[in-house]
Structure 1
Amino acid sequence: MSNATSFQTNITDGLQHRGMVEILLFSAPIILSCCVFLLINATMLITLRSKLVFRETSRYVLLYNLLFADTVQMALSQVLYIVCACRIMLTYPVCGVLTMLANLTTVISPLTLVVMCLERYVAVCYPLRHTTIITIRNTEVAIVVVWGFSSLNVLIQVLLLLDFPFEDLQSLQMKEFCSTENMLLGTMSDLYDQVFTCFLFASACVAITSSYIGVMVAARSASTDTASARKARHTLLLHLAQLGLSLSSTIYNPLVIAITKIVDKITIFRIQTILYVGVILLPRCLSTLIYGIRDQTIRPILICHLCCQYKLSIVQSLRSQSRLH
C-alpha cells in the first residue's frame, strides 16, 4: 500500500557500490526537500490548534487529521530513506513496525478526503441541517472510524505476515533494505495489498465524484447559495486532485521498473530523485499549500507563524555568528 518506501530500496541499492560523496549528493536534495515540507506542515498543524475557531469547526478538524497523517507518513518515509542511505539492514520486526505505521497513515489520507467531501456536500445540499449533522462530536466519531478502518487493514496485514514461516529463516536480520515491498513476504500479502489499494481508491473516487455531482445539481436550484456551491465545487475538485496524487504514488514502483529497462543507471538515479520528491513528498505537503493560500481564515495566521519562524532562525544564526567572533 505505501510506495513511499520503494524509492529508498531502488536508489540506495544502485548506489551501494559507488562513493559516499555521490550518495550524499543524491541524498542531500531529498532530505532538504523533506525537511522544508515537514516544517511547512508542522507550522500548519500549529496554526490549526492556535485558535478556538479551528478547534470547533468540523472542516478544520478534518483538515488537521489529514495533515497529521500526511506529516507522519512523510516523516516515516524519510526515516526509512535515511536508514537505507546509511546502508543499515534492519530486522524483520523493526522494519515491520515502521512499514505498518506507514501503511496506517497512507490509508488515513484518502478516507479523510472522503469525509471532507461529504461535509461539503451536506453544507451545500442541506444547509439548514448542516449544523445538526456536521457537529464536532460527529466529526470526532468519523475520525475514529477512519483510524479504526485503517488499523483494521494493518491488523489484517500483520496476521498475513504471521502466516509466513519465519522459523525457516536462518536469521531475522533482513538481507535487503527495509521497504513495504520487502515486507510482503507471501503471495497472499501481496494479493491483499493490491486488492485493498484498488478497492480503497475506487471507493474514494466514487464518493468524491458523487459528492461533486450532487453539488452540481444543487447549484442549479434557486434555493441554493450560488457562491457557496461554486466554492464547494472547486473544493471537491481539489480533493479529487489530491486523491489522484495519492494514487500516483502507488504506480511509482512499476513506473521506475519500466524506466530502468530503457535508461542507464546514472539517469535512473536522477529520474528517481525527481519522481520521489514530486510524486511522493510534494503531495504530502499539497494540502497545506492549498488550504493555507485559499482559506482566508487560515492564511494570515499561517503567514504570521511562518514569518515568526523565519525571523527566529535569522536571530539564532546571528547569535551563533557573534559567539564565533
Structure 2
Amino acid sequence: MLSWLQPKANITASVPQREAYEIILFALLILGSTCSFLYINCVLLYTLRSKPVFCETSRYILLYNLLIADTVHLISSLLLFLLSSFKIKSTYYACGFLVLVSVFTQSISPLTLAVMSIERYVANTTAVCHPLRHASIFTVRSTGIAIAVVWASAVIHILIRVFMLVYVFTKISLNLHMNELCSKETFFFAPIFNDFEEAHASTLFLSVGLAIIGSYIGVAHTARSASTDKVSARKALQTLLLHLIQLSLILTASMFSTIIIAIARTEDRSTLFRIYNVCYVFLSILPRCLSALIYGLRDQTIRPVLVKNLCCPWKGSICLNKSK
C-alpha cells in the first residue's frame, strides 16, 4: 500500500493547477471512506470486548488482533496518503516512524489470517472427530502464544530493515530534512531494499497462501467424508475463501509500485492519477475492512451486538426507542 506513495508524489507534483479540485475531491472521498471504515473497525473492537464469550474464544481473540493491526495500518496509510496528496514534506525521523508503523502492521495481517484459517480447520475437524478437543487445542493461552509469534515475526522483519538502513547510512550521509515526499520508497531508497521486499513478500504470501488453501481443502474433505453440520462446514469454507481473497488483495497492493510504473508508460498523468486513487480504495482500504465484513456481518454471535453498537450510540436513536 505505502509503496504507491512515491508514484503518487510524482503524479500530484505535475498535475496542472486546473486539476487541483479533482485532487481535493479524491482526497475528501478517500478520507471519508477511510474514516467510515475506521469507525466500523473501532465499534467492532469495542464489541469484541463487551462480552466474556468474545474474550474467551480463540476465534474472536484472533479477530481482535487482526482488527488492531488493520486499524493502525489504515491510520498510518491515510496519514501518508494525505501528506503525499497535499505535498507536505516531513523530517526523515517523522517519515520513518509512519513508514515503519505501516510496514509493521502490514506484515501482521497475512500471518494472522494464516492462524485464523488453521483455527477454522481445527474447529471443523475436531467437531467431527473429537468434539471436545477444540477447546483444549485453541485455548486462550495457546492463542496468545500464536499472536505473540505473529508479532515477533513482524518485529524481526522491522529489525532487519532497520539494520539494513544502518548499513546503508554507513556508506552515505543522512539528510534529516527530506527533499522528497514521505513514502516507503523515499525512506527505503537503496536498491537492496527492493530485493529484500521481493524475497520477503514471496516467502510470506506463499506460506500464508498454502496455509489457507490447505485449511480449505481440509475442511472440504472433512465435510464430504463425515456426517457433520453441513451449514457450519459451508460457512467455514466461505470464510476461508474470503481470507484467500483478502490475502490476494494485500499481495496485489504490495506489488502496486511495479504495476503503477508499468501503467505510467502507456497512460497520461491524469488517467494515472485516477487509476491510482481507485486502486488505493480497493487495494489499500478494502482489504483492511474485510475482516469487519467477514466476521461482523456473517457471525451470528457478533452481528446482533455489533448492529446494536453501530446504531445505538446516540440518545434518542431508533434502536434506543425500540428498546424502551
Same fold (TM over 0.5): yes
Query: Which residue of the partner structure matches residue 3 of structure 1?
Result: 3
Contact preservation (8 Å) 2:2, 2:80: no
Query: Which residue of the partner structure matches residue 155 of structure 1?
Result: 159
In structure 1, what is the Cα distance between the partners aligned to 2:206 and 2:292? 25
- 1:222 aligned to 226, 249, 260, which one? 226
In structure 1, what is the Cα distance between the partners aligned to 2:164 and 2:106? 19
Matches within 5 A, 1:1-325: 2-3=2-3, 5-6=5-6, 8-15=8-15, 21-127=21-127, 128=130, 129-165=133-169, 168-169=172-173, 171-222=175-226, 224-309=228-313, 311=314
Q: Which amino acid aligns with 2:178?
A: M
Any gaps of 5 or more consecutive residues in structure 2?
Answer: 319-324
In structure 2, what is the Cα distance between the partners aligned to 1:147 and 1:167? 31
Cα gap change, 1:264 to 1:186, in 2 (>3 Å): closer
Contact preservation (8 Å) 2:239, 2:294: no
Offset, 1:181: 1.4
Query: Which residue of the partner structure matches residue 321 of structure 2?
Result: none
* Deviation digits for residues 115-135 of structure 1 (CA, Å, limit 9, x no counterpart): 001111111222322111110
In structure 2, what is the Cα distance between the partners aligned to 1:307 and 1:186? 49
TM-score, normalized by length of structure 1? 0.89
Offset, 1:279: 1.4
The SS at the match of 1:164 is helix
Q: Which amino acid aligns with 1:281?
A: I
In structure 2, what is the Cα distance between the partners aligned to 1:258 and 1:36? 32
The SS at the match of 1:32 is helix
Percent sequence identity over aligned pairs: 46
In structure 2, what is the Cα distance between the partners aligned to 1:118 and 1:31? 35
In structure 2, what is the Cα distance between the partners aligned to 1:56 and 1:6? 43
Offset, 1:11: 4.1
* Deviation digits for residues 192-213 of structure 1 (CA, Å, limit 9, x no counterpart): 1110011000000111111111
Offset, 1:168: 3.9
In structure 1, what is the Cα distance between the partners aligned to 2:41 and 2:7? 22
* Deviation digits for residues 43-82 of structure 1 (CA, Å, limit 9, x no counterpart): 1111111111111111001011111111110100111122
The SS at the match of 1:294 is coil
In structure 2, what is the Cα distance between the partners aligned to 1:96 and 1:117? 33
**Which segment is superposed worse, 177-186 or 132-141?**
177-186
Q: Which amino acid aligns with 2:56?
A: E
Q: Which amino acid aligns with 1:216?
A: A
Q: Which amino acid aligns with 2:266?
A: I
Contact preservation (8 Å) 1:161, 1:189: no
Contact preservation (8 Å) 1:8, 1:80: no
Query: Which residue of the partner structure matches residue 322 of structure 2?
Result: none
Any gaps of 5 or more consecutive residues in structure 1?
Answer: 316-325
Cα gap change, 1:224 to 1:82, in 2 (>3 Å): same
The SS at the match of 1:93 is helix
The SS at the match of 2:312 is helix
**Which segment is superposed worse, 93-102 or 53-62?**
93-102
Contact preservation (8 Å) 1:164, 1:185: no
Q: Which amino acid aligns with 1:190?
A: N
Offset, 1:264: 1.8
In structure 2, what is the Cα distance between the partners aligned to 1:11 and 1:67? 32
Contact preservation (8 Å) 2:2, 2:77: no
